Structure 1
Amino acid sequence: MTEFPWAAVGLNILLSIIAVAALMAVVMGVSIRAKNHSLIDIFWGPAFVVVAVVSYLASAGSVGDSTRRLVVLVLTAVWGLRLGLHIGRRNRGHGEDPRYTALMRHQTGSLVGYLVRKVYGLQGLLVVVVSLPVQVAMYESAPLGLLGGVGIAVWLVGFVFEAVGDQQLTRFKADPANEGRIMDRGLWAWTRHPNYFGDACIWVGLFLLALGSPVGLLTVVSPIVMTTLLVSYSGKALLEKGMRRKRGAAYDDYIERTSGFFPRPPRRSARTEGAS
């Protein structure tokens, strides 16, 4: 068995840090000038594409299996670019997200230092950590095999849930008749967060694609960190807190009927049964 190229992977991580830091610096500069730090959300997905491209180029000529390298590059690029385009279209004309407006009210010290600590540096660090499967997979010499096929299948399930869920929600919000109503149709009847569930599957799939050797097990930190963020911090928990405040009992009823994360058939709520 070929010895794992630790030095090459270490250099790859360093190059990824430099590339992500450069991207974050540019986005921060533009955001300061535009007085809109929501722009960082648009570049979250594309930042992973930057890492994938850097890793693919850096691993050229290495022991990495060429098919695995190309598959990981394509899957990461498709996911990251679609997400960036979706958020860009969604945010167009809406100004700064209230989360960032509230964050800026608590600014202390220099503006750049505060933004690096609270927004751009933090998100850049997360990109480098979460993208570890993408970086390590580029240096795995084993062919994809069955486990690689499972990884692609899990990624595909995640991509469908995320892309279709986003499309369904966009179409729902575009209809004036749905003003003030809760989206509980399509995939949103099976899980309150099909896009977040899909995102978690994306990174589980990429983690499986990094398992060309036991070294890939170290990258399990990626799906753990991503899923924890989606469920407990910046995703599900934060969104549902706001929705319960705005929609009250109607959203409580939706919670009662619909799975919070993992998809399952919707069930009838106690309110519905009581009214029948």
Structure 2
Amino acid sequence: MLDIEFIMGNTFAKAAGIDFGIQWSLWALASLLQTEKFYDLAGSGTFFYLAYQSLQWGKTFYTRQKVTSGMVMAWAARLGLFLFTRVLKEGKDSRFNGVRGNPGRFWVYWTIQGLWIFVTLLPVLVLNNKKEDKPLTYRDYAGWGLWTLGFLFESIADYQKSAFKANPDNAGKFITSGLWSTSRYPNYFGEICMWSGLFLTSSSAMTSAKEYASVLSPLFVTFLLLKVSGVPIQEKQQAKRWGTNPDFIKYVKNTAKLIPFIW
């Protein structure tokens, strides 16, 4: 038992060290260059690397571990490339206006990203540290199904919005078609579904209250998206652009905020 506890603690310490080491090193480079262009790519890349590396540290490679880690890596690769391509195309990320030239404030953003990565990955780190396998159950399939639903929602919503903005005829307009007709934030709904699904699957192998505490992952993601870096920022920008537009007011009133079709 002592050896297992030591290995578990060491795994989390290594993950945290690598995580924050990457964020702070790249913060120094980003501050020097005064750019945020690789911020999101750094975050998704760290997710990808730690999901893969924690699987290697465990050296057990059970089906549940491989599928769940693969899902994290697939999500990280898609989202990272999407956000990196978007910021290159647009030239900047408005979240960092007034921040990129202030090293102290910029450091806070990079540190929050490190915290987001570590807390969000907790269920996967717990799972990949397990030395004993358990048979797959309905929870595993339900979790993978929920992740798949979320992945499709986020991927399709991102594609639809990008295609909408790329059409010159839509300049200055807001999207109300596709998944955006069912929810004002279908991409955030997808993100929450994915991490909820990964916790659900990982919980199939959990045996202690300490491990179940990794439910902080989907809760933290939901909190960030709904209260900190997602919806609040989007709504502030939308209010500036379309706050007095009758069509936008109608869209907000008649469209679900997060969960499709549920007002």
Once residues 164 and 2 of structure 2 are traced to their aligned partners in structure 1, the CA distance between those partners, rounded to angstroms, is 52
CA change 1:71–1:260 in 2 (3 A) is: same
The counterpart of 1:224, out of the listed 210, 219, 225, is 219
| Matching of residue 130 in structure 1 with residue 126 in structure 2 | no
SS in 1 for 2:99: helix
The counterpart of 1:164, out of the listed 134, 137, 156, is 156
The counterpart of 2:261, out of the listed 260, 264, 273, is 264
**Counterpart code for 1:123:** Q
SS in 2 for 1:136: helix
Once residues 76 and 68 of structure 2 are traced to their aligned partners in structure 1, the CA distance between those partners, rounded to angstroms, is 12
| Matching of residue 73 in structure 1 with residue 69 in structure 2 | yes
Moved more, 21-30 or 151-160: 21-30
Once residues 114 and 242 of structure 1 are traced to their aligned partners in structure 2, the CA distance between those partners, rounded to angstroms, is 21
Structure-to-structure mapping, 1:74-93, within 5 angstroms: 74-93=70-89
Which structure: greater helix fraction?
2
Unaligned runs of 5+ in 2: none
**Counterpart code for 2:230:** G
| Matching of residue 255 in structure 1 with residue 252 in structure 2 | yes
CA change 1:193–1:137 in 2 (3 A) is: same
Once residues 83 and 154 of structure 2 are traced to their aligned partners in structure 1, the CA distance between those partners, rounded to angstroms, is 12
Instruction: Say if 2:147 and 2:194, in contact at 8 Å, map to a contact too.
Output: yes
Structure-to-structure mapping, 1:168-183, within 5 angstroms: 168-183=160-175
CA change 1:66–1:4 in 2 (3 A) is: farther
| Matching of residue 40 in structure 1 with residue 39 in structure 2 | yes
- Identity of paired residues, percent? 28
Once residues 184 and 135 of structure 1 are traced to their aligned partners in structure 2, the CA distance between those partners, rounded to angstroms, is 38
| Matching of residue 99 in structure 1 with residue 95 in structure 2 | yes
Moved more, 27-36 or 217-226: 27-36
SS in 2 for 1:260: coil
What TM-score do you get using the length of structure 1 for normalisation? 0.86
| Matching of residue 246 in structure 1 with residue 241 in structure 2 | yes
Once residues 238 and 43 of structure 1 are traced to their aligned partners in structure 2, the CA distance between those partners, rounded to angstroms, is 21
The counterpart of 2:110, out of the listed 112, 120, 128, is 120
Once residues 38 and 250 of structure 2 are traced to their aligned partners in structure 1, the CA distance between those partners, rounded to angstroms, is 34
User: Which residue pairs with 1:21 in the alignment?
Assistant: 20
Once residues 19 and 41 of structure 2 are traced to their aligned partners in structure 1, the CA distance between those partners, rounded to angstroms, is 14
Once residues 57 and 22 of structure 1 are traced to their aligned partners in structure 2, the CA distance between those partners, rounded to angstroms, is 19
Once residues 42 and 255 of structure 2 are traced to their aligned partners in structure 1, the CA distance between those partners, rounded to angstroms, is 31
Once residues 142 and 68 of structure 2 are traced to their aligned partners in structure 1, the CA distance between those partners, rounded to angstroms, is 13
Report deviation, 1:256: 0.8
Instruction: Say if 1:42 and 1:85, in contact at 8 Å, map to a contact too.
Output: yes
1:199-243 deviation per Cα after TM superposition (whole angstroms, max 9, x unaligned): 001100110121112434211100000011111110012101111
Moved more, 82-91 or 40-49: 40-49
Report deviation, 1:123: 1.3
**Counterpart code for 1:165:** A
Once residues 7 and 145 of structure 1 are traced to their aligned partners in structure 2, the CA distance between those partners, rounded to angstroms, is 29
User: Which residue pairs with 2:231 in the alignment?
Assistant: 236
Report deviation, 1:24: 1.2
Once residues 245 and 232 of structure 1 are traced to their aligned partners in structure 2, the CA distance between those partners, rounded to angstroms, is 19
Instruction: Say if 2:199 and 2:218, in contact at 8 Å, map to a contact too.
Output: yes
Number of matched residues? Answer: 256
User: Which residue pairs with 1:271 in the alignment?
Assistant: none
Instruction: Say if 1:203 and 1:223, in contact at 8 Å, map to a contact too.
Output: yes
**Counterpart code for 1:180:** G
